């Protein structure tokens, strides 16, 4: 994908001198920048977020601020984290009034290094709503779903194929789908064609929402997270092998159920087990 050069005139400030300035922004492929330009898709993201007037929203990669504008109309506070320095400078001008009014906190940095504690984001007291860089989708999901202070929900724009994998649309589970379902309830809101972005990516996208994020399933079943994930990761180590073959390595550890644990799996493969099946295995 080739870089595009864009020039923006700021319309959101009363300072005429600044308003006449043109801010130069180069679309950077390395940062996974594809700016959403579809109003219907933006509305669907906002609807899926079920935003209240006192909500705190964490936005990842605000880009040109299209989604940010709509979030600011609904939420009490938006914290927007932008890695691109040029876009950050542009956003500072575009949202000068909102930043001054303390309804927007603009942060220049990498979301994967973002410290939620530094902004007093307490468990279930904020929502993540974003058109995220697709090259770090997995890392973003892991960071927030497994955080001590998990968000209440997440609304994300992801690649359509990734959305289908998360939902296991083909009835075949993966580490990705189990990882999301272990902490929340995923749902696809809508498919978003590539033409709705600038520059247009090579693949279609989709809006997903993950609701009711928590560690409830581990607590209710009295299953330790580290034990659960050791079994899941070992089970998916070789996708084409039977699950019993993959898990034989755990036979050396008496804490994982011994031979009865493995023999109970029959000819199943890791992709054949639901989240509750994995929980049951972890309880043995």
Domain holding 204: CATH number? 3.40.50.150
Q: How many domains does the chain have?
A: 2
169 located within any domain: yes
Residues 6+ apart with CB under 8 A from 166: 158, 176, 177, 180, 186, 208
Element containing residue 94 per DSSP (H, E): helix 85-94
In this prediction the pTM is 0.86
114 located within any domain: yes
Q: What domain range is 247 assigned to?
A: 219-283
Mean pLDDT of 195-216: 92
| Dist CA 130 CA 108 (whole Å) | 16
By residue count, the chain amounts to 284
Annotated binding site for S-adenosyl-L-methionine: 34, 36, 61, 82, 110, 131
**196 and 275 in a common domain:** no
Q: Which of 170, 199, 214 is the last residue of a domain?
A: 214
Q: Which residue has the higher pLDDT, 11 or 190?
A: 190
pLDDT, tens only, 61-88: 999 999 999 999 999 999 999 999 999 9
3-state secondary structure of 12: coil
23 located within any domain: no
**265 and 137 in a common domain:** no
Take residue 197 and report the two structure tokens written for it.
């972005």
Q: Which of 193, 214, 235 is the last residue of a domain?
A: 214
Based on its alpha-carbon atoms, the radius of gyration of the chain, rounded to whole angstroms, reads: 21
Q: Which residue has the higher pLDDT, 55 or 27?
A: 55
**118 and 224 in a common domain:** no
8 located within any domain: no
pLDDT, tens only, 145-184: 999 999 999 999 999 999 999 999 889 999 999 999 999 9
Q: What is the DSSP string of 122-186?
A: -TTS-EEEEE--GGGHHHHHHHHHSSTT--SEEEEEEEHHHHHHHHTTTS---HHHHHHHTTSEE
The whole-number pLDDT of residue 8 equals: 41
**98 and 159 in a common domain:** yes
205 located within any domain: yes
Q: Which residue has the higher pLDDT, 254 or 191?
A: 191
19 located within any domain: no
What phi, psi does 176 have (nearest 5°)? -60, -50
What CATH number corresponds to the domain at position 246?
Answer: 1.10.8.100
Annotated binding site: 34, 36, 61, 82, 110, 131
Residues 6+ apart with CB under 8 A from 52: 74, 75, 76
| Dist CA 147 CA 191 (whole Å) | 28
The whole-number pLDDT of residue 262 equals: 74
Mean pLDDT of 18-25: 40
User: No. of H helices and E strands in the chain?
Assistant: 13, 11
Q: Smallest Cα–Cα separation from 57: which of 100, 105, 98?
A: 105
**127 and 208 in a common domain:** yes
Mean pLDDT of 19-27: 43
- In this model, does residue 118 exceed pLDDT 60? yes
Burial of 164 (0-12, 13-18, 19+ CB in 10 A): middle
- In this model, does residue 256 exceed pLDDT 90? no
Q: Which residue has the higher pLDDT, 150 or 248?
A: 150
Take residue 156 and report the two structure tokens written for it.
């994300």
């Amino acid at each position: 994908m080739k870089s595009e050069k864009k020039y923006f005139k700021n319309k959101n400030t009363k300072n005429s001198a600044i308003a006449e300035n043109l801010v130069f922004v180069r679309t950077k492929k390395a940062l996974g920048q594809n700016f959403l330009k579809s109003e219907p898709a933006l509305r669907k993201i906002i609807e899926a977020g079920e935003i209240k007037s006192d909500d705190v929203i964490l936005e990842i990669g605000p880009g040109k601020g299209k989604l940010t504008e709509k979030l600011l109309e609904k939420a009490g506070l938006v914290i927007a984290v932008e890695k691109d320095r040029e876009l950050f400078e542009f956003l500072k001008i575009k949202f000068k009034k909102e930043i001054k009014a303390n309804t927007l906190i603009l942060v220049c940095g990498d979301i994967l290094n973002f410290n939620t504690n530094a902004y007093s984001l307490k468990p279930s007291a904020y929502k993540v709503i974003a058109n995220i860089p697709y090259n770090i989708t997995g890392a973003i999901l892991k960071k927030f779903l497994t955080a001590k202070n998990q968000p209440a929900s997440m609304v994300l724009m992801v690649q359509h194929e990734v959305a289908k994998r998360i939902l296991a649309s083909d009835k075949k589970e993966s580490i990705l789908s189990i990882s999301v379902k272990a902490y929340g309830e995923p749902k696809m809101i809508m498919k978003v064609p590539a033409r709705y972005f600038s520059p247009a990516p090579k693949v279609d996208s989709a809006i997903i929402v993950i609701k009711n994020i928590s560690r409830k399933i581990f607590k209710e079943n009295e299953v330790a997270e580290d034990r659960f994930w050791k079994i899941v990761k070992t089970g998916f180590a070789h996708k084409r092998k039977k699950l019993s073959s993959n898990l034989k390595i755990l036979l050396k550890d008496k804490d994982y159920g011994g031979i009865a644990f493995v023999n109970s799996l029959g000819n199943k493969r890791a992709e054949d087990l639901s989240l509750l099946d994995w929980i049951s295995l972890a309880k043995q």
